[in-house]
Amino acid sequence: MDVRAPYKDIPIAYCMLNPSDSIQNLRLEKSFLGEGNAYVMAQQTDSIYYPDAIVHLERWDNDKMMEQLVMTRVSLPGRDSGIFTRSPNYVFQTTAPIKRNSEYHLAISIPSTGAEISAVTHTVTDFKVTKPESYKKTLALWSYENYQSVEWISAPFTRIYHLKIRFHYLEVRNSDTVAMTSDWNIGSYISRTATGGEDMKSEILNRNFYKWLGNKLSKPGSDVFRLVDKKALDFVFTVGGEELFTYMEVYDDDSGLLIDKPIFTNIVNGIGLFSSRNQQSVLGKSLSTHSIDSVAYGFYTKDLRFADSNNDYYFR
């Protein structure tokens, strides 16, 4: 008995618009079923790609199309090895600017099958960070038991905020100085709604910064010493739209339960995700002299060979 259902072509599309990026990418592939080994078929280009797909991005305002962008098929360097063919690695791209706080429609037509695929999203917009304050150039993290508060006001059409802190430092060996960075992932935060205007907060225990730094960096050789950069800390937010939040809620369940998960898609006549994300940062906050000394002599970081605040670097 043949247990396979009759063949049905299902387009699969993924596109994450980012107004901060110079290139937008869309991956369009298809599900397949046929006689023979599925792993062998996955290595065939015509099993996973549509040769004649036409892809447009449309910007709409008040039920009126304001702009139509053509996305062109290009071949990227081969994808990571796995089930599917590494090359060609087709995606659809446009280099046209994407506007923030705008409604975008995805329109895909496939003449060979007659399929018409569509989706709608709203690009995320900038939001207001209230702490650390823009006027405050220096942060004091030297007391282990105090907290650094990061606060912001949510933006419309945005649900998920991921925060990381990027630490800048210098490594000095003889006359060579190398600028280094390391990222500390703080966590993800979810707004209650996508309407915007919600006060949001992350409270970060100062002690955890030094513990993270002590675990992240290894002890250098005796011919190397380190300096906390004069612009030591960046607060980097990666934010995502409501569709991305829902997608992650469905598929990022880490309960370990072996359950069938529902399929989430906002693609009409297909499967996949069309949403938006953006990155926004508060850059170049300095550490106070006491904080620099805590890096140099503190319990968690004393072996990392950081110079204290008396180093000439801080007085140039």
151 and 102 part of one domain: no
Same domain, 116 and 173: no
Instruction: Tell me: do 289 and 227 sit in the same domain.
Output: yes
pLDDT band for position 178 (50/70/90)?
very high
Domain final residue, candidates 79, 100, 123 = 123
Q: Out of 104, 123, 142, pick the residue that ends a domain.
A: 123
Q: Are residues 185 and 66 in the same domain?
A: no
pLDDT tens track for 131-140? 999 999 999 9
Dihedrals phi, psi of 124, to nearest 5 degrees: -70, 155
164 closest CA partner among 213, 233, 222, 210: 233
Examine residue 265 and state whether it is found in any structural domain, yes or no. Answer: no
Is residue 85 located within the same domain as residue 144? Answer: no
Could you tell me the CA-to-CA distances from 132 to 61, 70, 140, 176, 203 in Å, in that order?
A: 35, 41, 11, 33, 11
Domain that holds residue 168: 128-243+278-315
Residue 45: the pLDDT is 55
Residue 223 falls within a domain, yes or no?
Answer: yes
**Considering the domain boundaries, does residue 264 fall inside one?**
no
Asked whether residue 162 falls in the same domain as residue 105, the answer is no
Q: Give 194-208 pLDDT, tens digit per residue.
A: 999 999 999 999 999
Query: ω into residue 132 within 30 of 0, thus cis?
Result: yes
The C-alpha R_g of the chain, in whole angstroms, comes to 25
pLDDT tier for residue 316 given thresholds of 50, 70 and 90: confident
Does a structural domain hold residue 103? yes
173 and 307 housed in the same domain: yes
Q: Are residues 15 and 96 in the same domain?
A: yes
Name 64's bridge partners.
61
Q: How much is the mean pLDDT over the chain?
A: 88
SS3 275: strand
In the prediction, which pLDDT does 31 show?
75
For residue range 296-306, list pLDDT tens digits in order.
999 999 999 99
Asked whether residue 50 falls in the same domain as residue 156, the answer is no
* pLDDT (average), residues 37-51: 57
d(CA 28, CA 30) in angstroms, rounded, equals 7
Q: Is residue 266 part of a domain?
A: no
The average pLDDT across 17-37 equals: 79
Calculate mean pLDDT across residues 97-119. Answer: 95
Tell me, yes or no, whether 132 and 119 share the same domain: no
In a domain? residue 4: no
Backbone angles phi, psi at 271, to 5 degrees: -130, 145
Provide the CATH number for the domain around residue 216.
2.60.40
The predicted structure's pLDDT at residue 250: 79
pLDDT band per the 50, 70, 90 thresholds, residue 248: confident
Identify how many contiguous H helices and E strands the chain contains and give both numbers.
5, 15
* CA–CA distance, 170 with 175 (Å, rounded to integer): 12
- Is residue 295 a part of any domain in this protein? yes
Q: How many domains does the chain have?
A: 2
Is the separation of the CB atoms in 276 and 101 below 8 Å? no
Q: How many CA atoms lie within 13 A of 151 on its CB side?
A: 11
Domain match, 26 and 114 both: yes
Three-state SS at 240: strand
Query: Would you place residue 308 in the very low, low, confident or very high pLDDT band (cuts 50, 70, 90)?
Result: very high
Question: Is the bond preceding residue 88 a cis peptide, omega within 30 degrees?
Answer: yes
DSSP assignment string, 163-228: EEEEEEEEEEETTEEEEEEEEEEEEEEE-S-SS---EEEEEEEHHHHHHHHHHHSPPPPTTEEEEE
Are residues 288 and 158 located together in one domain of the fold? yes
The confidence score (pLDDT) of residue 205 equals 98
Would you call 276 helix, strand, or coil by DSSP?
A: strand
pTM, to two decimals: 0.83
Alpha helices in 117-275 (DSSP H): 206-216, 242-251
Report the amino acid identity of residue 308: D
Last residue of a domain, one of 123, 138, 153: 123
Residues shown for the chain: 316
* CATH number of the domain to which 102 belongs: 2.60.40.10
252 HSE (CA, 13 A, CB side): 7
**Measuring CA to CA, which residue among 17, 27, 30 is closest to residue 89?**
27
- For the chain, percent of residues with pLDDT exceeding 70: 86
Domain for residue 227, yes or no? yes
Average pLDDT over residues 214-241: 96
On the CB side of 225, CA atoms within 13 Å amount to 11
Task: Report helix, strand or coil for 184.
Answer: strand
